[in-house]
């Protein structure tokens, strides 16, 4: 299976891009969704987290108390390493399984941390959805009800825009809006169909 890795910073338009490809019948595997699935109640990673941290790591409905867990692992780097050892291999295995089950002409792995996480190694080609930082902040604050400082902190914690641009095979500019983004993606989709068919 020929796999495209799709990435971009917060508020860049990854979802708008992946929705476009999905509308063309392309299988989309979203790393963020897989990351949530592996810690659903009853899953092995969820059980390991419950065993290690006790009920304080859970909400009343038995789902993870993400706010508490985030605070805990950022305050204690050893706990973060342990948590990642429980979740990352399972996320990777699930992503691989879902990509292998894809029946479309090619498949897409959407991941905000495509390059940082090593998930780019699961792909043959990469596409960056790119916008300037001020646009990222404006879009992310209006969408997520987060304040601008919070968004700036998230951007600062992610790979720099310049490095992402230097690593990506293709770049789609999403600063002008959906119609222009879709025009670029239409051309890229045609090229990906050819690449997938010729491999």
86: pLDDT strictly greater than 90: yes
* Closest by CA position to 106, among listed 121, 90, 128, 126: 126
151: pLDDT strictly greater than 80: yes
Domain residue extents for the chain: 1-26+104-199, 32-103
The answer to the question of whether 14 is labelled as a binding residue is yes
Architecture of the domain delimited by 1-26+104-199: 3-Layer(aba) Sandwich (3.40)
What tens digit of pLDDT does each residue of 20-32 get? 999 999 999 999 9
For position 73, what pLDDT does the model report? 86
171 burial (CB, 10 Å; 0-12 / 13-18 / 19+) is middle
For position 144, what pLDDT does the model report? 66
Cα separation, 125 vs 6, in Å, equals 9
Residue 27 β-bridge partners:
107
**Percent of the chain, pLDDT > 70?**
99
The answer to the question of whether 15 is labelled as a binding residue is yes
Query: What's the mean pLDDT when you consider all of the chain?
Result: 93
For position 67, what pLDDT does the model report? 86
Cα separation, 22 vs 44, in Å, equals 30
CA–CA–CA angle 132, 8, 38 (5° rounding): 150
């Amino acid at each position: 299976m020929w796999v495209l890795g799709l990435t971009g910073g917060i508020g860049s338009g990854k979802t708008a891009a992946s929705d476009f490809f999905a509308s063309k019948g392309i299988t989309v595997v979203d790393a963020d969704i897989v990351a949530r699935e592996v810690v659903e109640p009853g899953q092995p990673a969820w059980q390991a987290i419950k065993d290690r941290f006790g009920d304080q790591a859970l909400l009343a409905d038995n789902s993870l108390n993400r706010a508490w867990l985030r605070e805990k692992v950022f305050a204690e780097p050893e706990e973060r390493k342990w948590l990642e050892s429980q979740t990352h291999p399972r996320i990777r295995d699930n992503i691989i399984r879902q990509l292998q089950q894809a029946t479309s002409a090619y498949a897409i792995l959407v991941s905000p941390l495509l390059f940082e996480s090593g998930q780019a190694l699961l792909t043959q080609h990469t596409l960056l959805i790119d916008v300037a930082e001020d646009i990222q902040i404006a879009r992310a604050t209006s969408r997520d009800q987060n304040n601008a400082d919070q968004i700036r902190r998230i951007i600062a914690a992610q790979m720099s825009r310049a490095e992402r641009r230097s690593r990506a095979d293709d770049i789609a500019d999403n600063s002008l809006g959906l119609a222009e983004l879709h025009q670029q993606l239409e051309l890229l989709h045609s090229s990906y169909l050819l690449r997938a068919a010729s491999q």
